[in-house]
Structure 1
Amino acid sequence: MFDLADADLAGSVLDCPGGAASFTAEARRAGVDVVAVDPTYPPAGPAAERGRALRALGEHAAAEAERGSAWARERAADFAWTFFPTPEDHLAERLRAAAAFAAHASSEPDHYVQASLPRLPFADGAVDLVLCSHLLFTYADRLDDAFHLAALRELVRVARREVRVFPLVVVGGGGEHAGLGALLEQLAAEAVTAELRPTDYRFQRGADRVLVLRPRMIDG
């Protein structure tokens, strides 16, 4: 979904929000320097306690996957069944991801930090690449443009190289968020360049582009 190549993961990576996804687990197995942040992760404390809480979060995500799969089946026309050939395939992948998250997060809890946008506990330029999926624009019916602008500014602040955001469509809606252009104009005025790049990943109807943001100074 992020149109990533191996070279894009050569530096440090932040997954924000990470949720109970398997990205951090899989990236760590590939030797990537990655940290996930999410408000649902347990706060700082003993590793064993945090590990147990993270495993429980993964188990909860597996239960939620069943509910989400039923929702997707009811709205099958809103999705392109290509990457996931059937709703059953989609559910199987979500269950696999939740299990991978639970296993990894419980064994390496330090890679999972409790935090939420629009404030992250990292220094300016702390990581090379920031990935943000299924939060910004997805819930634009509940999160206003002021929140989106603050969140995008924060993601750019902590990124040395670039930020990638996907999808750009509102869940249950059609097409990209209507306020996207105005947000990008505001960021351009703040020396942030934007690229809307096609992605081969297909699931939600209309979600076929990833937003790539870069501080202008790195564009040369």
Structure 2
Amino acid sequence: MAEYRAMFCLSDDDLSGRRILDCPGGAASFAAEASALGAEVTAIDPIYASEPGELAARAVPETERAVAWAHRHAGRYRWDWYGGTAEQAAMRRAAAARFAVDVCAAPHRYLAGRLPSLPCADGSFDLALSSHLLFSYADRLDADFHLAALLELTRVATVETRVYPLLDYTGAPLDDLIAHLRTELHDKGIRTSLRKTRYEFHHGADTMLTLHA
């Protein structure tokens, strides 16, 4: 939860009583933790097509693989927000364990789906959060996909969409793609802004894109 608060600049007001989409949700604990604070959270990810028990069983081992990969490539990242590699690993393991419990206890919070076509009605949420898909995989998801995904997020979120990070998975900047998408969105009547975050794991990944519905 602390990671989400920092990377998306989430305040208590952002969470309290809000309908929030987390897409893609992965094996994150945000849905569980934010729901406990009074938010109405739905996480969407294609992996949720699996049975809750299977998702729970995979969560910690897959997190261990991701942690090991990050530690093998430690030079790509800044560790000071966490305090060090051990603290980052502990936080990720705790999040995976919380997810494993919640996906079995409250499976209604976890819907199978993927961008750019979500199984939700218009205006289903107040706030949409999307991390580590858009921009992160710009080498395989083209500009048209990004635009379609951003439009889909604004379709289902009535107030705001926040996207982080704005670098690809190697840490390369994507200024031209971001400028192109902001122009396209502006032409469709969607206002956007860039905002500094309180989180930077990849070097230079300290900014989120906000779409104002």
TM (normalized to structure 1)?
0.89
Out of 42, 60, 73, which is 2:49 matched to? 42
- 2:3 corresponding residue in structure 1: none
| Rg larger for | 1
CA contact (8 A) 2:59 2:100 kept: no
Provide, for residues 73-129 of structure 1, a one-character-per-residue CA deviation record: whole Å limited to 9, x for no partner: 222121111112222221111111111001011001111111111001111111100
Equivalent residue of 2:54, what SS? helix
Greater Cα offset, 34-43 or 140-149: 34-43
Residue 3 (str. 1) matches residue 9 (str. 2) = yes
Out of 58, 61, 75, which is 1:60 matched to? 58
Provide, for residues 178-202 of structure 1, a one-character-per-residue CA deviation record: whole Å limited to 9, x for no partner: 4111011000000000110001112
Identity %: 46
Aligned pair in 2 of structure 1 residues 58, 177: CA closer, same or farther (>3 Å)?
Answer: farther
Letter in 1 for 2:36: R
Out of 101, 118, 121, which is 2:119 matched to? 121
- 1:136 corresponding residue in structure 2: 134
CA distance in 1, matches of 2:25, 2:13: 21
Equivalent residue of 2:69, what SS? helix
CA distance in 2, matches of 1:64, 1:34: 23
Out of 158, 163, 168, which is 1:165 matched to? 163
Figure out how many residues of one structure are paired with residues of the other and give that number. 206
- 2:36 corresponding residue in structure 1: 29
Residue 81 (str. 1) matches residue 79 (str. 2) = yes
CA distance in 2, matches of 1:27, 1:55: 22
Greater Cα offset, 125-134 or 4-13: 4-13
- 1:218 corresponding residue in structure 2: none
Aligned pair in 2 of structure 1 residues 83, 55: CA closer, same or farther (>3 Å)?
Answer: farther
> How far 1:170 moved relative to its partner?
0.3
- 2:144 corresponding residue in structure 1: 146
- 1:94 corresponding residue in structure 2: 92
- 1:180 corresponding residue in structure 2: 178
Runs ≥4 in structure 1, deviation > 4 angstroms?
none
Letter in 2 for 1:122: C
CA distance in 1, matches of 2:182, 2:145: 14
> How far 1:177 moved relative to its partner?
5.2
Structure 1: gaps (5+ residues): 44-52, 216-220
CA distance in 1, matches of 2:14, 2:171: 31
> How far 1:65 moved relative to its partner?
2.0
- 2:193 corresponding residue in structure 1: 195
